[in-house]
């Protein structure tokens, strides 16, 4: 199966368990791989036959910007569920990073894989 991906989608949101984190917006970065059969859009050359990564990105941006979760695990699960439920995707691998969350590291976060 082919992969459609979105790399380093950066979105500001309220995320964290500490009081100070609940009062600010922080950046999270998403890397997403979605299994999708690209043979039909490759043959038709028609955007309607694709897994439209712009539509996926816009949907996730709207969701994440409005979200106020404590855990990156919760946010990652909800983003994966949106992709599986709202787009023609049977499998998703999603990496959600919180840059600068731990001193001395580039970022921390979770990577999950979910199937329909």
The phi, psi pair for 87, rounded to 5°, reads: -125, 160
Angle at Cα 17 formed by Cα 11 and Cα 22, nearest 5°?
60
Catalytic status, residue 54: no
Q: What is the pLDDT of residues 53-78, one digit of tens each?
A: 999 999 999 999 999 999 999 999 99
Q: How far is CA 33 from CA 5, 56, 96, 104, in A?
A: 4, 11, 12, 28
CA 46 to chain centre: 25
The active-site residue, picked from 40, 58, 98, 106, is 98
Closest CA to 107 of 95, 115, 97: 97
Q: What is the pLDDT of residues 12-48, one digit of tens each?
A: 999 999 999 999 999 999 999 999 999 999 999 999 9
pLDDT band at 1 (very low <50, low <70, confident <90, very high): confident
């Amino acid at each position: 199966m082919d992969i459609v991906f979105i790399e380093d989608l950066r979105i500001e949101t309220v995320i964290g368990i500490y009081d100070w984190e609940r009062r600010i917006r922080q950046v999270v970065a998403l890397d997403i791989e979605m299994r999708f059969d690209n043979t039909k859009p490759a043959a038709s050359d028609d955007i309607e036959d694709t897994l439209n990564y712009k539509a996926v990105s816009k949907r996730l941006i709207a969701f994440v910007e409005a979200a106020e979760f404590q855990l990156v695990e919760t946010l990652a699960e909800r983003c994966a569920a949106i992709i599986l439920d709202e787009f023609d995707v049977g499998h998703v691998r999603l990496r959600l990073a919180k840059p600068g969350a731990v001193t001395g590291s580039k970022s921390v976060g979770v990577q999950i894989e979910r199937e329909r």
